[in-house]
Homo-oligomer: A and B are copies of this chain.
Amino acid sequence: MSVKLHDNYDNLVKNYLFSEIAKRVKAYTEANPEKKIIRLGIGDVTQPLCKTVTDAMAKAVEEMGVQDTFRGYPPEWGYDFLRNAIVEHYAKRCRASLKMDDVFVSDGAKSDCGNIVEIFGDNEIIIPDPVYPVYLDSNIMQGRRVTFIQANESNLFLPSPDGIEGGNYIIYICSPNNPTGAVYNKEQLTKWVEFARKTSSIIIFDSAYEAYISSDEPKSIYEIDGAKECAIEICSLSKSAGFTGTRCSWTIVPTELMVGDKSLNAMWARRQATKFNGVPYIIQRGAEAALSDEGRKECMAQVEYYMRNAKLIADMFKEKGVFFTGGVSSPYIWFKVPEGYTSWEFFDKLLNEVQIVGTPGSGFGKNGEGFFRLTAFGSYENTLEAVERLKKVF
Contacts and interface: CB of A to CB of B under 8 A. Distances in A.
A32 interface: no
A110 B49 contact: no
Contacts of A6: 118-121, 267
Interface string A58-70: 1001101111011
A249 to B, nearest CB: 9
A65 B48 contact: yes
Q: Count chain B CB atoms within 10 A of each CB in A57, A281, A283 and give the residue with the most.
A: A57
Given A247-B279, A275-B138, A45 B72 contact: yes
Number of chain copies forming the complex? 2
Interface in A233-259: 242, 244-247, 259
A276 interface: yes
Interface in A1-44: 1-7, 9, 12, 44
Nearest to A284: B245
Interface in A271-325: 271, 274-283
Given A167-B1, A168-B4, A71 B245 contact: yes
Interface string A202-241: 1000000000000000000000000000000000000000
A298 to B, nearest CB: 11
Contact of A67 (B48, B53, B122, B280): B48
B64 A58 contact: no
A81 to B, nearest CB: 14
A200 B120 CA distance: 32
A58 to B, nearest CB: 5
Nearest to A201: B3
Given A73-B44, A73-B244, A61 B58 contact: yes
Interface of A: 1-7, 9, 12, 44-51, 53-54, 57-58, 61-62, 64-67, 69-74, 107-108, 110-111, 114-115, 118-123, 134, 137-138, 141, 167-170, 200-202, 242, 244-247, 259-260, 262, 264, 267, 270-271, 274-283
Given A61-B61, A73-B244, A247-B277, 5 more contacts: A1-B167, A44-B72, A46-B70, A70-B242, A246-B282
